[in-house]
Structure 1
Amino acid sequence: MKTELRKFFAAYESYHKVMEMAAAKYYRYGHFTGTIPLTTFTEKEQVEIADFLGVASSELLQKKKLTLKAWQKAYEESRFHQIAFEEAVELVTGQKLRTKGFEQAQKEAERKQYVDYFSECEGLEFVSPKRQLDFLRQQVTRTELDLLGRLIQALPKELTYLPVYAQQQLGNPHGLDRQMRIGKLFFTLLIDLCQLTRETNESATEYRSRIYQQQNLVVDDLMNFVTISNLVAKTQEGTDHPMWQGACEYQVIWNVPIKALLDIETVRPRQGNTVFIFENSSLYSALLTAFPVLPSICHQGQFRLAMWRILALFPETTHFFYASDMDPEGLQMADKIKQRYQERVQFLFMDQQSYLSYPSEKDISNSLPKLTSLIDPNLKAIAESMKEKKVASYQESLYEKYVAFLSKWEKSENI
């Protein structure tokens, strides 16, 4: 009988549609009630419905709507009456009848059960209710929660590369990569654990590196480096680092990867308390040729973690002269270092007059929106002129001014 019922209702699209609408009414109200407008059916379908009800189609059309009560009554007088109407609806639609209220209650019970699990899962006690619900929406399983709890509990006490940590904990060096689901969830929890907000103009990569480093994890490889000259360092054991000393003695310009900075306690200029920081590598090379003992750093474009790491290793008595190209990106970087180190930073020929005196022909119109986030007043003054001129000013054009300044500085410092 059930097979026959399915075939019968499948043969008439109109009958199948009515049964689906009956299921929708049941979901909303918890029982079969209400009406269905006949305008949702074609003329042919309306005639079929009238036949099922045992009334003339003209009589049905006058009512302009079909009551579910009439449809259920007609069904219960049909040859399928031995099968309850509720079961018939389920057989035709292929789904169990359910109500909105029941689903909501079920979801609430599941939500409570899920949230309660966080208090049982060691290592995840800090997770906020908002984050718990976010994980529920992402369908993070209990097995995944257990794993995340273990990862948080096992965070290293000393600086460790993320792939090494992943290998230790998961047996897979790529297990905590950003592309991996557990890697994404793990990083989300680290954000909550660290409570570090993203700084103004801080790139997503810089912020990510800072979050990991806060928990003694390093994500950067050997290509994360900063170029230096005439700087010396002490190790964690308090001894002078021989490689840094040797580079100074032989006046070597070299790239220091983040890995080589992990065991360094302090960095300082070989002589004096001043360090010159340049963005442009070609200018840096030219100036070091003219001034081979200049204590200096070159970061070659956007700041990497290695740049921030080495700056943090200088004593607070160290002062920095900073110079970059005067374009929107250069002003952003200058603003970043100024906001972080305040009065310890002085700009070298990064002023409104220098910008106006040495313009290039490079159109920077598309990058001008980046200027709106600047904080430093002097940089904002340059930005106003830049918005008007819509061109950049590059460090190479200021070479003679740098040389004159460094010559005077070198004499005053007796270097």
Structure 2
Amino acid sequence: MSLEKSCIEYFKSDKGFKRLFEGIREKYRSLGSLGGTVVINNLTQDEREALSGLFKKDYYSRKSASIKVEKLVKALEDTRFSGVDFERVLMGYFGEELISKRKERDIYELEKSSFFDEILYSFQGTRSWKWLKSILESRDNAYRMILQKYDRERESLKEALILTMKALNELTFNERNATRLALFSSKISRNPHTFDMDRNCGRLLMYGISYFLGIQYPKGAEDKAEALYSAGIIADEISNYTAISGLLAYRNGKVHRGWEGFYSLGEPLQVSLWNLSEIDYILSPSGKIFVFENPTVFSEVLYSTREKRPPLVCTCGQIKLASLVLLDRIIDNVDYIYYSGDFDPEGLLIADRLKKRYGEKLVLWRYSIEDYEGIKSNEVLEEIRLKKLDNLKSPELKTLGEHIRNKGLAAYQELLTDRYIEDINKYMSG
């Protein structure tokens, strides 16, 4: 047996050297060479015997030991292992090559670059190539998720990235010609659930869409649905709905018989994303639409004005995607959208969002300071809610928001119901 192998066997056969060698390896990883001092606390009896025998010193009465690596190498010169290459002994002890942390990082980065370069090469010049290259350079967007997956499950990440990049290249970003998510997913992967939002591919797809839309990764289900819609994808077709009355939908140049039936009866109709995906466009016979945030107000106004067949829409609080899709489908065919909602920070932010989306065609209906003063409640708005008013962009709403901040009280549109009815009767008669 060679001197080197004999030395390795000597140290491996005595468990008293185990922690010492582990410490030497860690020092090597940090320094890139043999050196440093290894501290061993709470010495065991085996360790005391091993160290005492090697260094010819009394470690029996000690609780800890500080061993300089160079002294260990020097101590070997006074044994039968004199002249042995201790670095090779250390490698033999662990059965692996000694690599410094710096070299390990270099290897890691080289392998990572090779991994992503291979994927980028396959999609060179495409939309998805731009996305992946950008986030790898900026370390933004999906970078953290991708890096975590790279470290834990490299092969599944590769598969997910390839599918996601194929999907990004297929997106139309055309809201008027949207595809159902399940069908889109099946086309890309032969699995309708691949791009569900709770799966890796779904999250990566949403990161990619967010990148191209220039937005932050959406947190809520509605925001995700809207981002998908902006990319030309419709998800959650049945449970995402809006309520309407007095509107007519057209398909293949003809009035949709279902919509026509509810219109002729003056009854409300719940319209889902599924329904909206089946029609070409929507018309308001009067050229106007009256939109309410509150379903109770919507119902009362419809009940009182149904003989005039007013064009009404109810968003039922926070704007669902179905409401946006409906308004998007009709915006080019109406003169004005009259929007009304609550006088609280959340209500004003909804109105502000719609104003930004539809511009001059959206009229902020009954949003004057006088309207607010006439119906304000005793409900005190907490500071955390009032802080939301800082996000308002519309000059008209910013003025109202400042007034509400000063008063500190909310107001709700139910008390304006009679005014809405008066306005609609006037608009529908004019």
TM-score range, shorter chain: 0.7 to 0.9
Q: Partner of 1:282 in structure 2?
A: 296
**Structure 1 letter corresponding to 2:336:** H
2:129 pairs with 1:125: yes
What is the deviation of 1:166? 2.7
What is the deviation of 1:117? 0.8
1:260 to 258, 272, 275: 275
Q: Partner of 1:28 in structure 2?
A: 30
When residues 317 and 145 of structure 1 are mapped into structure 2, their CA distance, relative to the original with a 3 A threshold, is closer
Give the secondary-structure state (helix, strand or coil) at the position aligned to 2:411.
coil
2:337 to 320, 323, 330: 320
2:371 pairs with 1:354: yes
Give the secondary-structure state (helix, strand or coil) at the position aligned to 2:254.
coil
CA contact (8 A) 1:5 1:80 kept: no
What is the deviation of 1:288? 0.7
**Structure 1 letter corresponding to 2:349:** Q
Deviations 1:194-213 (A, max 9, x none): x11239xx874344223323
**Structure 1 letter corresponding to 2:324:** W
What is the deviation of 1:94? 7.1
**Structure 1 letter corresponding to 2:290:** F
Distance in 2 between the 1:187 and 1:43 partners? Answer: 54
When residues 127 and 405 of structure 1 are mapped into structure 2, their CA distance, relative to the original with a 3 A threshold, is closer
Q: Structure 2: 5+ residue runs without aligned partners?
A: 1-5, 138-142
Q: Partner of 1:6 in structure 2?
A: 12
Q: Partner of 2:202 in structure 1?
A: 183
What is the deviation of 1:284? 0.9
Distance in 1 between the 2:66 and 2:165 partners? Answer: 58
When residues 143 and 173 of structure 1 are mapped into structure 2, their CA distance, relative to the original with a 3 A threshold, is closer
CA contact (8 A) 1:352 1:378 kept: no
**Structure 2 letter corresponding to 1:162:** L
Distance in 2 between the 1:16 and 1:69 partners? Answer: 18
1:332 to 332, 349, 365: 349
Q: Partner of 2:405 in structure 1?
A: 387
CA contact (8 A) 2:163 2:188 kept: no
Distance in 2 between the 1:104 and 1:147 partners? Answer: 29
Distance in 2 between the 1:398 and 1:213 partners? Answer: 33
Q: Partner of 1:248 in structure 2?
A: 263
Deviations 1:84-126 (A, max 9, x none): 5335434656764212343133123213312321333246433
Identity, % of aligned positions: 23
Q: Partner of 2:284 in structure 1?
A: 269
What is the deviation of 1:244? 2.2
Q: Partner of 1:373 in structure 2?
A: 391
Q: How does 1:161-172 map to 2 (within 5 A)?
A: 161-172=180-191
Distance in 1 between the 2:171 and 2:358 partners? Answer: 30
Distance in 2 between the 1:174 and 1:146 partners? Answer: 16
CA contact (8 A) 1:198 1:207 kept: no
What is the deviation of 1:216? 2.9
May I ask how many residue pairs the two structures share in their alignment?
Answer: 397
When residues 388 and 215 of structure 1 are mapped into structure 2, their CA distance, relative to the original with a 3 A threshold, is closer
Deviations 1:284-317 (A, max 9, x none): 1111111111111111111111111111122264
Distance in 2 between the 1:43 and 1:207 partners? Answer: 59
Q: Partner of 1:18 in structure 2?
A: 20
Q: Partner of 2:75 in structure 1?
A: 74
Tell me which moved more, 122-131 or 26-35.
122-131
What is the deviation of 1:46? 8.2
Distance in 2 between the 1:330 and 1:26 partners? Answer: 63
2:69 pairs with 1:53: no
Give the secondary-structure state (helix, strand or coil) at the position aligned to 1:409.
helix
Distance in 1 between the 2:424 and 2:180 partners? Answer: 39
Deviations 1:131-189 (A, max 9, x none): 34733553153333333344445558953221233344434332221221222223323
When residues 76 and 255 of structure 1 are mapped into structure 2, their CA distance, relative to the original with a 3 A threshold, is farther
What is the deviation of 1:49? 4.1
Q: How does 1:215-230 map to 2 (within 5 A)?
A: 215-230=231-246
Distance in 2 between the 1:400 and 1:149 partners? Answer: 54
CA contact (8 A) 2:289 2:334 kept: no
